A and B are shown apart, each in its own frame.
Chain A
Amino acid sequence: MAAMVSLRKVSKRYRRGAQSVPVLESLDLEVEAGEFLALMGPSGSGKTTLLNLLGGLSRADQGEVRVAGARLDQLSPRALARWRARHIGFVFQFYNLLPVFNAQRNVELPLLLTKLSREQRRHNAQAALALVGLADRGAHRPSELSGGQQQRVAIARALVADPSLLICDEPTGDLDRASADQVLDLLRRLNREQNKTIVMVTHDPRAAAYASRRLNVDKGQLGDDATTVAAT
């Protein structure tokens, strides 16, 4: 299978005042299409930074970033935005739904960037809500849903435009165990049944156990994660 993600000698540093702090250093990563990869590591180790590079939300200082067939380090900001719309679905720890829109409208948002008609948009959004088990909650505002339900709406939004890659940053970090299991089950199902490629950051070894591969981010480098494999 072709590589969905291929990072070569990628470095990223942040400026903090006069200092420049390295976060990722000469990092290599390959993710095959159809994989469900869990990234683990201590807080502040650069997991979110890595996801942002993969999702085209920020740029590497050095190295090659190839995702879903595009060299992100070579795209203009405009092209990058279009590429994100086409290829990436994001799931955030705090769901990031727009509070003023109902679930249906939230899920429809990525479709506003496609050529689909109003009818098709509505239909696809409804289908995505059905896929996450919330077919009857389309008219609810985020504030009228539980955390787990909100995260599933967010997953529906991430999926609705049929992206190449799902990027999930601690998707269960804010959920109770039962809701977390539901969300993780859903992600695993998407990976197994719909062959979605998923890269998920998590603190929680139980969550990581749902993935097909686990890597550890530490001190700007990636390593195989030995400690959590046993938890499967």
Chain B
Amino acid sequence: MHAVHQILAVTSMNLRGLPQRIAPSLVVVTGIAGVVGVLLAVLALSQGLSRSLVTSGRADRALLLHAEANSEAASALTRDSVSRIIDSAGIARDARNEPIASAEVPATLRLPRRSDGALGILTVRGVGEKLPALRPEILINEGRMPARGLNELIAGRAARSGFAGLDIGQHVVLGNADWTVVGSFESGGDAHESELLADADTLLSAYQRASFNAVTVKLLEPAAFDTLNRALAADPALAVTAMRESDYYQQRSQKFAKVLAIVARLVAAIMAIGAVFAALNSLYSVVSARTVEIATLRAIGFGGGAVMISVMAEALLLALVGACAGAALTWLLFDGHMVSTVGGGGVANVIFRLHIGGGLIAVGMLWACAIGLIGGLLPAIRAARLPIDTALRAQ
């Protein structure tokens, strides 16, 4: 009880002096706001990307590539391989007893991005006719599915909002042919929403290619993955590797998102060091400006601990104000915005939504508190250790 009174009295003494130290205090607040803002923005990028990739994969679907390929783009599967693959055990079948599978061909398309008008890369995915059964999460929200044999395609929601020229009725050029956008779809915010879909056979003939890149199949159940693997291994004419779709996207998301998460922390950590020094400097000046007052309170009998906690409390307060400012700014600027990865080296863009949620904001607050506590600690110790007799002579 006494301790609380003491701490409140010293803190209130310090805070009432704050208007006279508005500049150094603002430096601290701004520094911490910057740290939190950058941290939240880049973490939101990482989380958004990761979420979009992770939700793309399901445990009851498998992706099959050529045995020597480690990515869809590097893989090739002949028509014969494809029909052998989809007849394997472990694959789910529809009402007509046909395997639920889609042999796919990714092609790339360059279109101007809405954000800056620069050309970005989109994936046009040629898919099989069983797509609706294979990917029930895909919902046509405008227009219709492409007709077989026609140069038609549909655009994912994220692709449409990120790139110009994908409204229904608009045309794009693919493989020297003219293609018409006939619909748009969503698929629960996953990475496919960044893509366009077309009929695989039509796309193959437009590019005068014979082989598919990959096959995605629906498993009877997640555990049927092993059955499928055994069946594939037993067929000497096949050289394919199967990956659970969820694992495949997990891997991709780990690569991209983890790098981003590391970058977020690295940049924030560097900025945080600056903020710690600003806090350190500002609070040292608080302590030295209050030397006589602190010594007077200590003479009256106030404890060193109360003085120390008060300085820390001021540091924390500045940190929390900074964190709120940083989080609010980031939220205003980025929450709900669609972002596209910058496709370099022929990598297609993934477009996803940024979400600055409570979890992220809590992370920002924790960082801010840590900065405040670290920056406040040394000045607080100096204040608590002030030799009272010398400090009283300081006037």
Contact assessment for B13 and A57 in the assembled complex, using a CB-CB cutoff below 8 Å: no
What's the least CB distance linking A41 to chain B, in Å? Answer: 17
Cα–Cα distance between A86 and B304 once the two chains are bound (Å): 16
Mask, B299-323, CB within 8 Å of A = 1, is 1111110000000000000000000
- Contact indicator A92/B392 (Cβ below 8 Å): yes
User: Which of B296, B299, B302 has the most C-beta atoms of chain A within 10 angstroms of its own C-beta?
Assistant: B299
Does B278 interact with chain A (Cβ within 8 Å)? no
For this complex, into which size category does the number of interface residues on chain B fall? 20 to 34
B9 at interface by CB-CB < 8 Å: yes
Shortest Cβ distance from residue A66 to the other chain B in the assembled complex, whole angstroms: 19
Say which residue of B6, B9, B292, B300 sits within 8 Å of A90 (CB atoms): B300
Could you tell me the dominant secondary structure of chain B's interface residues? Answer: helix
Which of B6, B300, B395 meets A84, CB within 8 Å? B300
B296–A98 CB distance below 8 A: yes
Contact A81 B395 (CB under 8 A): no
Q: Which of B292, B303, B389 contacts A57 (CB 8 A)?
A: B389
A93 (CB) vs chain B CBs: closest residue: B395
Q: Residue-by-residue, is B8-48 near A (CB-CB < 8 Å gives 1, otherwise 0)?
A: 01001100110000000000000000000000000000000
Q: Which residues of A contact B304 (CB under 8 A)?
A: 77, 81
Min distance, Cβ B386 to any Cβ of chain A, angstroms: 11
Q: Known: A58-B387, A98-B296, A100-B13. Is A85-B301 also a contact (CB below 8 A)? A: yes
Shortest distance from the beta carbon of B307 to any chain A beta carbon, whole Å: 10
A94: chain B residues at CB < 8 Å are 395
Is residue B93 contacting chain A, with contact meaning CB distance below 8 A? Answer: no
Task: Known A81-B301, A109-B300; judge A52-B9 contact (CB<8 A).
Answer: no
Question: With A57-B392, A94-B395, A100-B16 given, is the CB distance from A109 to B387 under 8 Å?
Answer: no
Interface presence of A34 (CB below 8 A):
no
Distance A15 CA – B12 CA, assembled complex (angstroms)? 36
B303 engages A96 (CB within 8 Å): no
B329 within 8 A of A: no
CA distance A49 to B388 in the complex (A): 12
A21 in the interface (beta carbon within 8 A) = no
| Contact B389 A82, beta carbon cutoff 8 Å | no
The one of A52, A84, A92, A98 that contacts B301, using a Cβ cutoff of 8 Å = A84
Residue B230 at the A interface, CB < 8 A? no
Q: Is the CB of A112 within 8 A of B9?
A: yes
Check A113–B17 contact: CB distance below 8 A.
no
**B2→A113 contact, CB < 8 A:** yes
Which residues of B come within 8 Å of A, CB atoms?
1-2, 5-6, 9, 12-13, 16-17, 292-293, 296-304, 387-389, 392-393, 395
The 10 A-B residue pairs with the shortest CB-CB distance in the complex, in nearest-first order: A85-B301, A100-B16, A112-B5, A58-B389, A96-B296, A84-B301, A52-B389, A57-B388, A57-B389, A113-B301
